[in-house]
Amino acid sequence: MSIGCLYRRMNAVGLINELGSVAAAMENNPAFKNGVPQGVASAAELLATRERLKYAHEGSLTHDSNKIKERKAAEAEAVKKLDSVAAYYTLVAVNDPSVLLYTGFTPNISRKGDPTLLMAQGVAIYQGPVSGSAAVTVNPLPGVILWELQVGEGDLSVDSNWRPHVFNVGEAMVLHGLTVDREHGFRVRGHNRAGAGPWSPPVTFIPK
């Protein structure tokens, strides 16, 4: 099983329907039993994006060039939000494939043309803008749609001590709410439509 990515080729009407369907499925999907992690669009965000896209689509029917630009921008925002949810389902499904039984995404045949991603390189951690925060950078990696960042605290050999975060390519990877003066582990991997690449070796950092 895999997440369908047909939404990437949908027009505005298709995206409006997809946003509503995915938002509805999130309400009861076990992937979100502990809430929505940082970097993943919530059901409320998907529905708000849906309303903006509906408004922009209706305006573009006048064939006004500015309204058409607004619709295209709203479509791009919708795809970005759906990408974050799809990537999170994919990573949760590694340990619990049942989360893919009802996601609200329109299913499609997996693409075979997407290459397997290489390991993320050049992961670096810096003190963030406020106390208890950290900024993470990684070298660009061709083909990556989303970055998955995990932060570990305590015994890094225990999977439950790692917390997932998802970021769109080009988005600043800044984490907040970290324990001050305690060592944390950070690891990164990329995602494309074929799946996730390998994890980078853990890098440790002590937030101030």
Each residue's pLDDT, cut to its tens digit, for the chain (208 residues) gives 456 678 888 889 889 999 999 999 998 898 998 889 888 999 999 999 999 999 999 888 888 889 899 999 999 999 999 999 998 998 888 777 778 878 888 875 545 556 778 899 999 999 999 999 999 999 998 888 888 899 999 998 888 888 888 887 888 899 999 999 999 999 999 887 667 788 999 999 999 9
Residue 123: name the closest of 202, 33, 26 by CA: 202
Cα of 118 vs its chain's centroid, Å: 19
pLDDT score for 1: 45
Distance CA 198, CA 119 (A): 5
Q: Which two tokens stand for residue 103?
A: 């996601």
Looking at the chain, the number of H-run helices and the number of E-run strands are 3, 8
Domain that holds residue 137: 124-205
Do 151 and 77 lie in a common domain?
no
Say if CB 50 and CB 23 are below 8 A apart. Answer: yes
Q: Is residue 116 part of a domain?
A: no
Q: Is residue 110 part of a domain?
A: no
pLDDT score for 113: 59
pLDDT score for 20: 92
Do 189 and 135 lie in a common domain?
yes
Q: Which residues pair with 204 in a beta bridge?
A: 185
pLDDT score for 111: 52
Q: Is residue 186 part of a domain?
A: yes
What CATH number did the domain enclosing 195 receive? Answer: 2.60.40.10
Q: Is residue 113 part of a domain?
A: no
CB count in 10 Å sphere of residue 163: 17
Report which residue type is found at 141: L
The total of structural domains in the chain comes to 2
Whether the CA torsion 148, 115, 199, 103 is positive or negative: it is: positive
Q: Using DSSP, state whether 128 is helix, strand or coil.
A: coil
pLDDT score for 69: 92
Q: Phi first, then psi: what are they for 24, rounded to 5°?
A: -65, -40
Q: Is residue 10 part of a domain?
A: yes
Distance CA 73, CA 67 (A): 10
